[in-house]
Amino acid sequence: MKIFLGDKLVDEKDAVVSVFDHGLLYGDGVFEGIRAYNGRVFLLDEHIERLYDSAQAIALKIPMTRKQMKQAVVDTCKANEISDGYIRLVVTRGKGTLGLNPYLCDKAEVIIIAAKIQLYPQELYDNGLKIVTVGTIRNHPEAINPRIKSLNYLNNVIAKIEAINAGCMECLMLNHKGEVAEASGDNIFAVKNGVITTPPSTCGALEGLTRNKVMELAREAGYEMREAPMARYDLYVADEVFLTGTAAEIISVVDVDKREIGGGKPGEITRKLAELYHQAARSEGTPIE
Ligand code: PMP
pLDDT digits (tens, 9 = 90+) for 214-237: 999 999 999 999 999 999 999 999
CATH, residue 26: 3.30.470.10
Nearest CA to ligand 1 atom 13: 208
Domain assignment of residue 35, given as a range: 2-115
- Diameter of the chain measured on Cα atoms: 56
* In-domain check, residue 289: no
Shared domain check, 138 and 228? yes
Domain count for the chain, please give it: 2
Look up residue 172 and give its DSSP letter.
Answer: E
Rg (CA), the chain: 19
Residues 74-101 as b/e (b if ≥16 CB within 10 A, e otherwise) read: bbbbeebebeebbbebbbbbbbbeeeee
Ligand 1 contact, 201 CB (< 6 A): no
| pTM as predicted | 0.97
- Reply yes or no on whether the pLDDT at 117 is more than 90: no
Q: What is the pLDDT of residue 119?
A: 76
Q: Which of 3, 5, 9, 53 is nearest to 31 (CA)?
A: 53
Q: How far is the CA of 147 from the centre of ligand 1 (A)?
A: 10
Task: Name the active-site residue from 149, 160, 265, 272.
Answer: 149
Kind and range of the H or E run holding 84: none
* In-domain check, residue 190: yes
Shared domain check, 255 and 176? yes
**Residue 54 near residue 108 (C-beta atoms within 8 A):** no
Shared domain check, 135 and 108? no
Determine whether 67 is an active site residue.
no
Nearest ligand 1 atom to the CA of 247 is 16
- Domain termination site, one of 65, 83, 115: 115
* In-domain check, residue 184: yes
Look up residue 119 and give its DSSP letter.
Answer: P
Nearest ligand 1 atom to the CA of 246 is 16
HSE at residue 144, side-chain half, CA atoms within 13 A, is 21
- Domain termination site, one of 61, 84, 115: 115
Q: What percent of the chain has pLDDT over 90?
A: 98
- Domain termination site, one of 58, 81, 115: 115
Nearest CA to ligand 1 atom 8: 185
